[in-house]
A and B are shown apart, each in its own frame.
Chain A
């Protein structure tokens, strides 16, 4: 069975001969993962403005295709590539405290910088990975919320609190509020969980090379969360 091509594998296949299509795929990928990059940079520099500048520059570099040739050959994960490229990028900047804005053809990637504070005792790498997971989950929840549009919106709002709970609580009360049967609510919650699981798998798969095990990556992400 042929593996479906992910956005990341499109980018990797086209490394060295960038096209409009790969550029778009890469932009989308980078846009999705700006939060962990910013968190990483923020641990290395003292001011937020500098961190923002560097993050922007970094993505501009990646998108222009200059860093693609450095994509990590052995793992092939987008997460590893991004972290590796970021380290190289920062090392390359002799003077990154005074990083100048590079002009021409820049793409501004919106970075959500609120409540991002430098923390003590956490390595930038750990922070990067932690933020990575958070970003991933947020995107999946976003998508899930998008699927529960219109009349089903209320259902999502009421049930989303319980997505992480192994047991179902107060479904009778919710059923009463929503005018559904208890069974229907429980199934709705079960399906919502299944769907979120599916979305997470899909999102993770999108950053892996074809053939890589999603479960392995899931295990790694879980270990990251437990260690941090």
Chain B
């Protein structure tokens, strides 16, 4: 009965009229832009889930809290509005969001478990966060300057990772920045994220100047040329976000410097101004650069109210992680760290080029010279026409291999990286075994190998080796990421230990000086 007693005391202590005010209009706060489905309507579609309350809704649908019965874990179920499911553009965006998110594994990015559609209802199953959004925090009261900067640092960490993975968020706004009970800042809703290198999508997602991002946070180029948007649009949005968190309002037109409205040094104004440049080239060119500048501006001024030394060690080390990661070989605009190379020398184009050249050459009789695998006879001209030979065992096999490599290079992006890696290893193994067999083992039954199949062989080997090396590079990058994280954890622990020691020492010194004074 302790509960009942305490709430009775509580009701006497609190002002009843103020409590009633809390209830005023709380139903109208989330205007239903779509005919949102209810948990009861959805339940039959998801027999594996136990669907609970709506936890949010936005332009891309609504989110329910749900429990996965089999795994007994709480997840967030995101439902695409049914009215829009027929729209090819919207459905494409939905699938794109899922794929873009699935590629990102970061502590500061909402994880995705699954996506799909049941009876025209498109859904995403996401990591559930028992927390709130930055919007709620801003609604709850002004965000302090030091807190704002620490949060921006964490957002930068996550964004730097996403950018390195070739994913642009494109829709950074307080509603999409969540944090859990422990204060971990998490980026959600890569709904408008478009793979940085995927500019040749069959269905262009930005055919018109529709408001893809939220207007207040959109960089000018998102209006002017939505297709040309790169990661610097996110830096623009970060600038807006920072200004909003510091001052409580969105910068529009000629806005007062943030330092006049909040307790930050004026050097922070310069950081904001540079992030908000209309010309993307005039902005910071990477999130890490922005973060670095902000940090320097916030703590570099003597007498700054921001006391970074006293708290936020974890965040600072997180920041260090972002900076370290950023020192890794950076992806150039043409070459992304992940996925096939774009531009005139893309792997797929080289492969198909070879394929075409070799096929054309085969049609001419002068390509018929070859050598035999009979070592006693040495190199001599083959007597058989290539086209006759072409479908004989070794040539035909090599022909098929080159074709497979071409296909693999072309569709690698659609494959799971692990699967692509496996296929390329199998191909390479097959090639090597085959050439060893026909050159050294099967000498009793001499065959004629024309020159071009050998060129095929070389190309196949080179391309598959390249695929494997790239996979290894990716693995190494992941490992490095893990290593940097472990290093932060170690540093944080070390820092805490050092601080505790210093405190003890100080205490002891204080005691000692007091004693001496006496």
Contact = CB atoms under 8 A, between A and B. Distances in A.
Interface of A: 112, 133-134, 137-138, 140-142, 145-146, 157, 160-161, 163-168, 180-184, 186-191, 193-194, 196-198, 200-201, 204, 214-215, 218, 221-222, 225-226
Contact of A187 (B4, B20, B132, B151): B132
A168 B138 CA distance: 13
A158 to B, nearest CB: 12
B11 A196 contact: no
A214 B27 contact: yes
Contacts of B18: 163-166
B380 interface: no
Q: Chain A interface mostly helix, strand, loop or mixed?
A: helix
Contacts of B136: 187, 190-191
B183 A164 contact: no
B143 to A, nearest CB: 7
Contacts of A187: 131-132, 136-137, 140, 179
Q: List the 9 closest A-B pairs by CB distance, nearest first.
A: A181-B183, A190-B140, A197-B22, A164-B18, A200-B23, A187-B132, A141-B7, A164-B15, A164-B14
A184 B131 contact: yes
A226 B16 CA distance: 10
A134 B16 contact: yes
Contacts of A163: 14, 18-19, 22
Given A194-B26, A214-B27, A226-B17, A181 B7 contact: no
Interface in B1-45: 3-4, 6-8, 10-11, 13-27
B201 to A, nearest CB: 38
A112 B27 CA distance: 32
B281 interface: no
B329 interface: no
Nearest to B312: A181
Given A200-B23, A225-B16, A181 B147 contact: yes
Contacts of A164: 14-15, 18-19
B254 to A, nearest CB: 30
Tell me the interface secondary structure of chain B in the complex. Answer: helix
A157 B13 CA distance: 13
Contacts, number: 116
A160 B10 contact: yes
Given A137-B19, A200-B20, A222-B21, 13 more contacts: A133-B16, A141-B11, A146-B3, A157-B6, A168-B141, A184-B181, A187-B132, A194-B22, A200-B22, A201-B27, A214-B23, A218-B23, A225-B17
B144 interface: yes
Interface in B86-138: 131-132, 136-137
Contacts of B26: 194, 197-198, 201
Interface of B: 3-4, 6-8, 10-11, 13-27, 131-132, 136-137, 139-141, 143-144, 147, 151, 179, 181-183
Contact of A196 (B17, B22, B139, B181): B22
A184 B184 CA distance: 9
Given A183-B151, A187-B131, A214-B27, A168 B19 contact: no
Given A138-B8, A180-B181, A190-B136, A133 B20 contact: yes
A180 B182 contact: yes
A200 B183 CA distance: 29
Contact of A186 (B3, B4, B23, B141): B141
Contacts of B27: 201, 214
28 contacts: A112-B8, A133-B16, A133-B20, A134-B16, A137-B14, A140-B19, A145-B7, A161-B10, A161-B14, A163-B22, A164-B19, A166-B18, A168-B140, A168-B141, A180-B183, A181-B182, A184-B179, A186-B140, A187-B136, A188-B181, A190-B136, A198-B26, A201-B27, A204-B23, A218-B24, A225-B16, A225-B17, A226-B17
A194 to B, nearest CB: 7
A181 B24 CA distance: 29
